Amino acid sequence: MTIEDLVRLRRARDVMDRDYAEPLDVPALASVALMSPGHFSRSFRAAFGETPYSYLMTRRVERAKALLRRGDLSVTEVCFAVGCTSLGSFSSRFTELVGETPSAYRARRHEAGAAIPACVAKVFTRPVRNSAGNRGAGSAAAS
C-alpha cells in the first residue's frame, strides 16, 4: 500500500468521523478515497484492521453513548440521531460493542465520569467488539 493510498483512506475515515449521522455507504466512501468500492473495502480493512461499516458503526455507537448519557432522548431518537435507520440493528450492534443494551446503558448512572474531560473519556469509553474472553468489557482499556 502506498502513502497516497493511506492518505486517501484517512480522508474517507475522516468523512466517517465527521459525517457519521449521514447515510454513508461503501461506494460513497470509495469515491472520497478515489478507489473502486472493492479495492476501498480491502484496503481500508488492511490499513485499519476493520471494515468501513464496522468503523462507521463504532463511531455511531460512540456518539450514541454520549447522547444516552444525557438522558433527554429516547433510544429510538438516539438511533436516528446517529444515522441508523433500523432500531433493531442499532440495538444489536450497540449491545455487541458495549456489552449492554442501549436502554440499560441509558438507565444506568453516569455521574462518576462527568468530571472527566471528554477528550480523555473518549479513549476509555470507545466501544470495542466483545470477544469470548472479553465479554462485557466495554472499553479499549479493558482489551
Helix, strand or coil for residue 4?
Answer: helix
What pLDDT is attached to residue 139? 41
Nine-digit cell string for 98: 458495549
Residue 44 has pLDDT above 80, yes or no: yes
pLDDT in tens, 50-102: 999 999 999 999 999 999 988 899 999 999 999 999 999 999 999 999 999 99
The answer to whether the CB of 64 falls within 8 A of the CB of 32 is no
Residue 28 has pLDDT above 80, yes or no: yes
Mean pLDDT over the full length of the chain:
84
Q: What is d(CA 136, CA 67) in angstroms, rounded to the nearest whole number?
A: 20
pLDDT band at 136 (very low <50, low <70, confident <90, very high): very low
Q: What is d(CA 132, CA 66) in angstroms, rounded to the nearest whole number?
A: 26
pLDDT band at 122 (very low <50, low <70, confident <90, very high): low
What pLDDT is attached to residue 135? 41
For the segment 132-136, the average pLDDT, to the nearest whole number, is: 43
* Phi and psi at residue 98, to the nearest 5°: -95, -30
Q: What percentage of the chain has pLDDT greater than the value 70?
A: 76
What pLDDT is attached to residue 132? 44
What pLDDT is attached to residue 1? 84
pTM: 0.76
